[in-house]
Amino acid sequence: MAAAIRLSRLNLGLTSTNPSVACLIVRDGVVVGSAVTAPGGRPHAETQALAEAGAAARGATAYVTLEPCSHHGKTPPCSEALIAAGIARVVVSVTDPDERVAGRGLAMLRDAGIAVETGVLEEAGREALAAYLNRQTKKQPYVTLKLAVSADGMLGRLGEGQVAITGPVSRGQVHVLRAETDAILIGIGTALADDPELTCRLPGLEARSPVRIVLDPRLELPPASKLAQTAQTVPVIAVTERDRRDDPGFLARQAALEALGVEVLICDPRKLDALLTALATRGISSLLVEGGARTAQSFLDAGLVGRISLFTGPKAIGKDGVASPFVSGRMPDGFSLRHTARYGADVLQEYERDD
Ligand SMILES: NC(=O)c1ccc[n+]([C@@H]2O[C@H](COP(=O)([O-])OP(=O)(O)OC[C@H]3O[C@@H](n4cnc5c(N)ncnc54)[C@H](OP(=O)(O)O)[C@@H]3O)[C@@H](O)[C@H]2O)c1
């Protein structure tokens, strides 16, 4: 199951509204078929792994990270495919909260005489499926708040634009996070101060750059910014308060951004709860919030953060620093430390929300 969970991460951020699930078919201790949900969400992992296993699937064990589906959607149910292939035992990490499945997939397998075990490595399985599970149960994307802070908890230096706080290994890791995520979000303060591109620039993973979203109440994103200039290649959404007909320059700014391919979404950027619901209806299941300070604080205050990825660099910034919500290493209540890693001179601490 650990191997299946690792494999399932391969297509995170690529499977649209479907979860990225992995399936391993094991016969006499040998993996005879393995697959992960295909980009776009179809075909599912089970049918691909069964096809690879062929006749060797008869009498084998299938390890699946999420309960096999039981409903006739755009594809026939995976439970039926497992039964038809003669699988003897199915081991599942997480049961599916989708009301069309919710235990029915397991019941179908048991009714067919297949031995079924569930809840295997469930914590790790839930972590890999966090975005899907969150969207199913809360109808909102799963929010990861990523921040890089100096040794004294600062995000940057006032008026200095991007300040290198962490080293190249951490920055590479952030690009991996981007590759696994459906959308990245920042506040307009960061867009103006840093002019970031927010793409995934790891060799070979460039095509996995997520949609980029800017909370921009007054529609101030400059047409010359890297975000606007690259909107034709990687989508950019500027979330703005309302149709500001009283603001004479609004329509011209909107037209200039739209001509570059930026989508202007009229949805109050301060009502984050409603914004997240709107993003979920567009199929966005995971959202990486990359700051700045005020945006990070609003997401925390609204109780919308599921995971915090806190990268801490070795140097202090001191006075003139832009304070992060985590000065002096204090974590917000309701989060627990799950992982710690070292990337060169930096430390990553990953916190998960307790509920
Ligand atoms: N180290 C890091 O990880 C990191 C990451 C990103 C940025 N930064 C640094 O952070 C600094 C920028 O931080 P910041 O706090 O000034 O900017 P910010 O959070 O990026 O943006 C704040 C702006 O967004 C608007 N906004 C719209 N909806 C919002 C909402 N729901 N919550 C909060 N703001 C919302 C605010 O509008 P109003 O003005 O109307 O409130 C404000 O103009 C820069 O120095 C940048 O270099 C560091």
Domains and CATH numbers, the chain: 2-132 (3.40.140.10), 139-353 (3.40.430.10)
Separation of alpha carbons 8 and 3, rounded Å: 9
pLDDT score for 71: 79
Token look-up 């200095």 returns 160
Give me the residues paired with residue 149 across strands: 312
Q: Is residue 89 within 6 Å of ligand 1 at its C-beta?
A: no
Q: Is residue 291 within 6 Å of ligand 1 at its C-beta?
A: yes
Token look-up 């391969």 returns 10
Q: Where are the alpha helices (DSSP H) in 92-143?
A: 104-111, 122-128, 130-138
Query: 263 is written with which tokens?
Result: 């989508």
pLDDT score for 322: 87
Task: Classify each residue of 205-219 as buried b or exposed e, where b means 16 or more C-beta atoms within 10 Å of its C-beta.
Answer: eeebbbbbbbbbbeb
Nearest CA to ligand 1 atom 46: 190
pLDDT score for 206: 87
Separation of alpha carbons 232 and 254, rounded Å: 16
- Residue 46's H or E segment, with its range, is helix 45-53
pLDDT score for 243: 65
Q: Is residue 295 within 6 Å of ligand 1 at its C-beta?
A: yes
pLDDT score for 245: 67
Give the catalytic positions in this structure: 46
Cα dihedral across residues 101, 107, 109, 114: positive or negative: positive
pLDDT score for 244: 67
pLDDT score for 327: 66
Q: Report, as ranges of residue numbers, the positions in the chain whose pLDDT lies below 70.
A: 243-245, 327-329
Cα of 136 from ligand 1 centre, angstroms: 29
pLDDT score for 162: 79
pLDDT score for 33: 97
Cα of 291 from ligand 1 centre, angstroms: 6
Cβ atoms of residues 241 and 217 within 8 Å: yes
Q: Is residue 19 within 6 Å of ligand 1 at its C-beta?
A: no
Which of ligand 1's atoms lies nearest the C-alpha of 162?
47
Nearest CA to ligand 1 atom 38: 217
Cβ atoms of residues 189 and 211 within 8 Å: no
Cα of 222 from ligand 1 centre, angstroms: 16
Give 158-205 pLDDT, tens digit per residue: 888 778 899 999 999 999 999 999 999 999 999 999 999 999 999 988
Side-chain-side CA neighbours of 306 within 13 Å: the count stands at: 21
Q: Is residue 193 within 6 Å of ligand 1 at its C-beta?
A: yes
Q: Is residue 322 within 6 Å of ligand 1 at its C-beta?
A: yes
